[in-house]
Amino acid sequence: MTKKLSVRMFLPFILLLALCAAMMALVLHDTSSEANRIDLEHTHEAVQTALADEVERIKLLADDNALWDDAARAVYAGTDPKFFWTAWGAPTSESANYDLAAVVDQQGRTLIAFEGGKKRDGDLVSELGAPLRELLRQASATKAAAGGFVRKGDAILIVGIEEIMPISRDLERLVPKDGPYRLIFARLLNDSVVADLAKRTGLPDLKLAPLGERAKNWPRIQDTMRQDVATLVWTPAQPGARALDAAMPKIIFAFLVALVLAGLVSRQWLLMIREFRHEALTDSLSGLPNRRALRTELQARLARNEPLALAMLDLDGFKAVNDRFGHLAGDRLINEVSALLQSKVGAKGKVARLGGDEFAIMLVGPSSRDMIEALAKDLLARFILPFRLDDRTTGVGVSIGLVDSELHLSASELLRRADVALYTAKRAGKMRFRWYTVSLDEAQARARSIENDLRTALEKDQFGLVYQPLFDHLGGTVRAVEALLRWRRPGNEPVEPGEFIPIAEYSGLIDKIGLWVIRRACLDGLAWSRINVAVNVSMAQLRNPEFPELLAQVLEETGFPPMRLELEISERFLVADTQQARKMIDAIRALGVSVVLDEFGSGLTSLGFLRSFNFSKLKVDRSLTAEAQANEATRNVVQSSVAVARALGMAVTIGGVENQEQADLMRVAGCDELQGWHLSGELESAEITTLISKRTRSSGRQRRS
């Protein structure tokens, strides 16, 4: 009876325990299901956020590359076709940032495209269809970078688009009236990208799957037309299911562990965000801050009214290094220059690479103006020396624009002013620095206007040539004529060559103008038998590896005898790049054309240079002619120069002869030819014909008598 009572007593407790166990099981089941659902939802959001971050990243890259003066010049003015390869083509194989780059016009026509390190043919918009057209429409409508996913066959592209616009206001004139072109960057959503997403989201088996394998709960990847193109799948963690298999203490322990893990994951996520931001603000080649990073820091410091100074640097002759040694050597040189600038600046400021061969240095503090000018002088002295690239050395110069901050100045305006000063330094002859002043804006506006007029002059054949004769040492017989380029702007305004030639060199027009001069001089020279024609050749022309081939074409077209053509080159070209100068001079002489060293005696070349190059003729610098009249030491220099030339089998021309006394002194020195206003000024081609005929008749009468 007692036993039965005991069982009856425990039976309610047993039933209660069973009911509690059932209720606990139900609660645990519901809790487990809810935990599973919440975990899957959070993971889904993390994956979607990571995908959105990839789109934002490609948009930032497109924005950084499209808002760029050099890009605007290359796309709209066409001054440097190889810019597309250096800036956007090569990174499609060398960079993890994008696999495809293209430029399309307002109608969506592909102007140029690169994929996988190679130039890409075909029309990109036609191939990718409506999703890409929708992105182009968004970019135009919002006037901002647009991005999204686009299917390309079986592959999926992460695409970013931005309008190509200059930072400088004076370059906005280059943008077509019907709207700017668009820059397109695309990165494949491949295994490497998915692996990076897996790392960021903490899903080790995350993978890309076709739509057929998609479960309803997996995140869908949609293109810009809201069409499903793929999905991402992974093995769900199922934290609730695991909880059912463990006791309550284990559940509590797991909860505490989950809290710790959540903290760790959050910390790792913050680190990943910081890393992503660092990549977006860093130049991938040099590791320096990029243009966007510099602009951001400038804006912050200017907002706090901190005194600062900015230097913008551009390498002189960098294109020639790429042309001669290849882009890998060019990249190596960029890294060498980056290391040099960092070593010079140290902790005093910040160095940034703005793109291509352009850098910037920012110094902050009350003495920043004096410090940055001293740094500019130091850099100019260092860039006189060559750079070592593995087993070869190469020379490259630098031009520098300087500017200091003012109240209420924006970062964009500060960069624009530095660019104006840099442009002035390059136009003034390179390897120098210039401070920005308000007057430079007017000078730059004039230079831009002259550049536009030069293009028109080329199209409409508005240049002219005059000639100055070179006489024998007695001053009686015309031995040669020197072609001199003359040009008048619209409105009959004469422009000195000293002003428009540097502009032509900087803008890339000098090649066409220089060939026009040679062609015109050869055609005129056909009428002057046995008279040589001399033409000055710019250093920029001689740096063009195609110059000898173009020269040969001109000689063939005109029928002018090569042995009667003399090309005058400057001493500065020999010193700036001796190896390239030797190759170029050998190629010109192989055509039968004479090479004359101009401005000899200016102090740049040595006897070793003369022996090495063996010029046909030396032309003594005109400054020595005037000095020799009043200075015995200078007369000795001229006589020594003539003696050296004689010993090396070279003829000697003396320029700048302005009076009879100078002519007599130069004859005594032993020169072969005289040139100057005392003997003859500048003459039109018809006047040269008359002069030659008159001097020929006079010489004939003297011989008969």
Tens-place pLDDT, residues 525-539: 999 988 999 999 988
pLDDT class for 311, splitting at 50, 70, 90? very high
Query: What's the per-residue H, E or C state across 563-587?
Result: HHEEEEEEHHHHHHCHHHHHHHHHH
Q: For residues 218 and 232, is the Cβ–Cβ distance under 8 A? A: yes
Alpha helices for 281-410 (secondary structure H):
291-303, 318-325, 327-345, 368-382
Q: Mean pLDDT of all residues in the chain? A: 84
- Which pLDDT does position 236 carry in this prediction? 82
- Which pLDDT does position 217 carry in this prediction? 64
Mean pLDDT over 354-369 rounds to 93
pLDDT class for 1, splitting at 50, 70, 90? very low
How many percent of the chain have pLDDT more than 90? 33
- Which pLDDT does position 12 carry in this prediction? 59
- Which pLDDT does position 685 carry in this prediction? 92
Mean pLDDT over 119-139 rounds to 89
The residue that leads in pLDDT, 232 or 81, is 232
Q: Helix, strand, or coil here: 652?
A: strand
d(CA 597, CA 614): 10
Mean pLDDT over 233-249 rounds to 72
Alpha helices for 398-509 (secondary structure H):
411-427, 438-460, 497-507
Q: How far is CA 672 from CA 258, 472, 622, 677, in A?
A: 95, 6, 15, 17
Q: Per-residue b/e over 206-216, b at no fewer than 16 CB within 10 Å?
A: bebeeeeebee
Summarize pLDDT for 423-451 with one digit per residue, the tens.
889 877 788 999 998 888 887 788 888 99
Residue 5 confidence (pLDDT) above 80: no
Residue 25 confidence (pLDDT) above 80: no
d(CA 489, CA 455): 11
Summarize pLDDT for 576-634 with one digit per residue, the tens.
667 778 888 999 999 999 999 887 765 555 566 677 777 888 888 788 887 887 788 78
pLDDT class for 9, splitting at 50, 70, 90? very low
- Which pLDDT does position 28 carry in this prediction? 61
Residue 2 confidence (pLDDT) above 50: no
The residue that leads in pLDDT, 352 or 142, is 352
Residue 7 confidence (pLDDT) above 70: no
pTM check: above 0.85: no
Residue 245 confidence (pLDDT) above 80: no
- Which pLDDT does position 307 carry in this prediction? 93
| Lowest mean per-residue pLDDT among 152-156, 242-246, 321-325, 551-555 | 242-246
- Which pLDDT does position 216 carry in this prediction? 59
Summarize pLDDT for 60-85 with one digit per residue, the tens.
888 889 888 888 888 888 756 678 88
pLDDT class for 296, splitting at 50, 70, 90? very high
Mean pLDDT over 652-665 rounds to 88
- Which pLDDT does position 92 carry in this prediction? 87
